[in-house]
Amino acid sequence: MAKPAIRPSAGVARDAKHDPQPPLHALRRLWGRGEHVFLAVMLGVSFLAIWEYLAQHAIIEPVLFPPPSKTAAAWWFLVRTEYFPRHFLVTLYEIGAGFALGSTIGLLLGTLLATVRLVRLTLYPYIIAFQALPKVVLAPLFIVWFGFGPESKIATAIAICFFPVLVNTLVGLQLVEENALKLLRSLRATGWQTFVKVRLPNALPYIFAGLKTSLTFAMIGAIVAEFLTGAANGLGRLVQIYNLQIQVHLALAVVVIVSILGLIGVVVMDAIDRRVIFWRDRSGGV
């Protein structure tokens, strides 16, 4: 006697009908990502096109708001000048040194505060008080202490960028599941083994988030310090000169270069993040 055919239930049949097949599902995901990129590009192009139209037809003052085409030409002119590499390398050195030293200080202090309760209770109020202090008021003191060279700009960058790394390190090292700590205690793990096996891996996503924020703060600190301290070289000095000469298109060209530099820095940090924290679930991320 032939066996009756097994028919899927209504719910299964409905899912099979409406759920896409794997190739179609992958294509849909790819289109979703492409759609986001397309919308972002179109938003930027539309903004620049409207700006170009308004400036070309003198609806907005073209001297104060030069059209993007003029800014692009100024950018191409600027990068080919003989003095631009000197200013660019000075600012790059200040940002790199300030970020490296500031993030190192933040990482070490955050680790110390997270692991030693007495240090946390003693130092943390002073760190918060220092963070609440506007760093602009420290720039003249940094000139007195470190001179007009890159050292004063590096000190300003350090003062601004160390705090995000410190806070994220502190939070990441403290937010550890209690069950994991109990398991290691039951296995008679030492404090160092607990730190390396559980606390540090748990804190790495927080640390890298702080590093990305710290990098942008280091750029702000270095360039703002060039404004305030009367630097002889640097991208901030170029912006200051072009503003005094009312060459807004050249000043905007420098701003574009700074933005590209910051974008490259964040992309590099994100690539390192993905390589180091390879176990993180990024299915819901960008």
CB 220 within 8 A of CB 266: no
- Distance between CA atoms of 98 and 158, rounded to whole angstroms? 5
Rounded average pLDDT over 90-101: 92
User: For 7-59, how does the pLDDT look when each residue is reduced to its tens digit (9 = 90+)?
Assistant: 444 444 444 444 445 555 544 554 455 566 777 778 888 888 998 888 888 88
Domains and CATH numbers, the chain: 24-65 (no CATH), 70-276 (1.10.3720.10)
> Residue ranges of the alpha helices (H) in the chain?
10-18, 22-56, 68-79, 84-115, 117-132, 139-146, 150-174, 178-186, 191-194, 200-228, 235-244, 248-276
pTM (2 d.p.)? 0.76
- Distance between CA atoms of 211 and 206, rounded to whole angstroms? 9
User: For 187-201, how does the pLDDT look when each residue is reduced to its tens digit (9 = 90+)?
Assistant: 777 777 777 777 888
The residue assigned the tokens 């097949």 is 21
User: For 121-154, how does the pLDDT look when each residue is reduced to its tens digit (9 = 90+)?
Assistant: 888 888 888 888 887 778 778 888 887 888 888 9
Tokens for 222? 């270095």
CB 169 within 8 A of CB 114: yes
